[in-house]
Amino acid sequence: MFQTLYSYFWWERLWLPANLTWADLEDRDGRVYAKASDLYITLPLAFLFLIVRHLFETYVATPLAGLLNVKEKIRLKATPNAVLEKFYASTSKHPKQADVELLSKRSGCSVRQVERWFRRRRNQDRPSLLKKFREASWRFTFYLIAFIAGMAVIVDKPWFYDLREVWKGYPIQSMLPSQYWYYMIELSFYWSLLFSIASDVKRKDFKEQIIHHVATIILISFSWFANYIRAGTLIMALHDSSDYLLESAKMFNYAGWRNTCNNIFIVFAAVFIITRLVILPFWIMHCTVVYPLDLYPAFFGYYFFNFMMVVLQSLHIFWAYLIIRMAQKFITGKVVEDERSDREETDNSEEEEEAAKNGPLSNGHPVLNNNHRKTD
């Protein structure tokens, strides 16, 4: 049974155009072709990435956070309460009003004290500013290096300037060493992101991030199997062109350098919209949808690859909507925040009490009448 499934999975008609077989892609006469077995190395490399990331965050990102004066907010801890903790862990982190009243009776606390306890308990579970900074620093470093490396791989190739060259001679296209390592590193990195997603900072688009990572891994792997390497290198470099800008904007945001963050964000928004909503659909996807049909009839791999491209493009539209919302806030003079981030909650009841004595508060501290921000 396993052999039958294996045979069906690697059936040439799924992966290759008509009249071509895997025998046509065997190494010969100094020409080297992509093989599925090449991707086995990406799993141990992914774990190596996790080790390198830990070392980077410990010995590079943490000292950098100190230099940029990344400071943690003082969070008030929820007092130990077995009844409330049990409900928080097993039922809901956001109890309804009826639940609050019931918990008030069971725990011996007032309704306001129960509400305050849940706010503080939720804040305890939120990632620290240092954790966010370290994660953004790691991703910024990788995306920047990957973008530079990707451009070095494709900038001297004829298909970078003429997209019809992507399919010239397909699929009998020899693989270059630079393409091999570009693929292995990119795929290994996205495996590492998928492995660490449970412990990374969770944002509102958590499900979309999982879909993105899985779709990216499938696309990279499939393009390798089907020898879509030329198209694959263009797509990967295009995505890396804006990602490092977003991560650097986050870093400066966590450090409190608002002007720098906002300026970088404007550049990121422009690059993202141009690359993901213009170049990708109207140049790259046109290249993968239209040009191949001039050479061979459509086959399963053609439909599958372009379907996954549509999935990615749908995510790009979703994120572009969030980016435009953030841009609108910036234009109207509001502070630009990551729309995907979970906001810190404050103890409103305590603030009201303190406000009556000391005036208005911000996050538990008196507001000083100065609107200056750290600038660069």
Q: Where residue 92 sits, what CATH number does that domain have?
A: 1.10.10.60
- Band of pLDDT at residue 345, cut at 50, 70 and 90: low
Question: How far, in Å, CA of 190 to CA of 49, rounded?
Answer: 10
203 and 226 assigned to the same domain = yes
Question: How far, in Å, CA of 60 to CA of 135, rounded?
Answer: 11
101 and 113 assigned to the same domain = yes
**DSSP label of 207:** H
- How many structural domains is the chain composed of? 2
355 occurs within a structural domain: no
Domain limits for position 254: 29-68+128-332
Q: Is the peptide bond before 171 cis (omega within 30 degrees of 0)?
A: yes
146 and 197 assigned to the same domain = yes
- Band of pLDDT at residue 237, cut at 50, 70 and 90: very high
198 and 258 assigned to the same domain = yes
The size of the chain, in residues, is 376
Question: How far, in Å, CA of 179 to CA of 34, rounded?
Answer: 10
The pLDDT mean for the chain works out to 84
Identify the CA nearest to 137 among candidates 222, 242, 56: 56
Q: Pick the residue with more confidence: 325 or 332?
A: 325
262 and 283 assigned to the same domain = yes
141 and 171 assigned to the same domain = yes
236 and 153 assigned to the same domain = yes
86 and 171 assigned to the same domain = no
* Identity of the highest mean pLDDT range in 80-89, 232-241, 355-364: 232-241
* Residues β-bridged to residue 366: 361
Question: How far, in Å, CA of 193 to CA of 280, rounded?
Answer: 23
